[in-house]
């Protein structure tokens, strides 16, 4: 039996699983349906841009540059947006989650109206806001979009915890390993759904977003700390 500890709602494993699943889903979706680009994994976009430039395909390189620029702009916007939210004493993580849902809904409604560049841009902004909102799981830093650091930390924490007989560190490694699995699961679901529904598969990304909103709303009403089991019973 794991002893239940008090920690912030946005640091829970359930919350981390939801946002990481969404990230895997959306990145796979944009890669499969939006010209091989990633909404959040900017390393992949940067790599592909370099390859296209080396091949002399300037226009092809630009299409990978667009989500990179929007992702960077999203970080600047998030800084001012977060400052305004905290200044007005709103709950940052819930407010951000609701904003993510609005961005996701705009992208879904614009699938048949907007150029793919715009759809990828909206989702790149989505990823930029998400990565700067959810940063830790039970007090341990992790990434919801780029998995390289998570892969490193999963191995490092697990080995360190085992060698030093530190149960907390070993559990941190286990939790981050679960994050990697959840990200992959999101990509798997996006692949199956994209094969069947094409661009309309993006609609399914709204489902975990709705769960995330409900989860955070209940947690905020219960106070700054919570018992995960009690909240999950209400969903």
Strands of 84-204 (E only): list them: 136-137, 140-141
Distance CA 124, CA 116 (A): 12
Q: What is the pLDDT of residue 224?
A: 55
**Rounded to whole angstroms, how far apart are CA atoms 119 and 108?**
8
Residue 82, sorted as left (phi over 0), alpha (psi -120 to 50) or beta, turns out to be alpha
- pLDDT value, residue 225: 52
Instruction: Report whether 190 contacts 201 (CB < 8 A).
Output: yes
Measured distance CA(227)–CA(6) in Å, rounded? 7
- Helix, strand, or coil (residue 159): helix
Supply angle C-alpha 11, 30, 141, rounded to 5: 20
Q: What's residue 218's pLDDT?
A: 87
Tokens of 105: 């809904």
- Measured in degrees and rounded to the nearest 5, phi and psi for residue 142 equal -155, 170
Q: Is 4 helix (H, G, I), strand (E, B) or coil?
A: coil
pLDDT in tens, the chain (235 residues): 334 556 788 889 999 999 999 999 999 999 999 989 999 999 999 999 999 999 999 999 999 999 999 999 999 999 999 999 989 888 899 999 999 999 999 999 999 899 999 999 999 999 999 999 999 888 888 989 889 999 999 999 989 998 998 888 999 999 999 999 999 999 999 999 999 999 999 999 999 999 999 999 988 777 655 555 555 554 4
Would you call 54 exposed, middle or buried from its count of C-beta atoms within 10 A (0-12, 13-18, 19+)?
exposed
What pLDDT does 1 receive?
36
Q: How far apart are CA 156 and CA 152, in angstroms?
A: 6
Output the furthest CA–CA distance in the chain (Å, rounded).
Answer: 59
Residue 168 tokens, joined: 């907390």
């Amino acid at each position: 039996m794991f002893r239940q500890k008090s920690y912030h709602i946005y640091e829970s494993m359930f919350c981390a699983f939801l946002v990481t699943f969404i990230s895997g889903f959306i990145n796979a979706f944009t890669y499969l349906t939006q010209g091989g680009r990633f909404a959040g994994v900017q390393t992949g976009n940067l790599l592909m841009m370099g390859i296209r430039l080396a091949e002399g395909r300037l226009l092809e390189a630009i299409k990978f540059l667009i989500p990179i620029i929007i992702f960077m702009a999203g970080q600047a916007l998030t800084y001012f947006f977060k400052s305004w939210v905290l200044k007005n004493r709103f709950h940052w993580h819930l407010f951000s989650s609701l904003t993510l849902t609005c961005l996701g809904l705009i992208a879904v409604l614009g699938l048949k109206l907007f150029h793919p560049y715009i759809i990828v841009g909206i989702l790149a902004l989505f990823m930029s806001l998400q990565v700067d909102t959810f940063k830790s799981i039970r007090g341990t830093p992790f990434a919801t979009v780029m998995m390289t650091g998570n892969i490193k930390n999963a191995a490092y924490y697990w080995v360190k915890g085992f060698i030093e007989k530190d149960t907390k560190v070993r559990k941190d490694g286990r939790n981050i390993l679960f994050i990697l699995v959840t990200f992959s699961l999101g990509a798997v679901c996006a692949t199956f759904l994209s094969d069947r529904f094409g661009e309309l598969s993006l609609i399914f990304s709204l489902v975990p977003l709705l769960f995330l909103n409900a989860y955070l709303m209940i947690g905020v009403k219960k106070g700054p700390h919570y018992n995960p089991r009690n909240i999950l019973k209400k969903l």
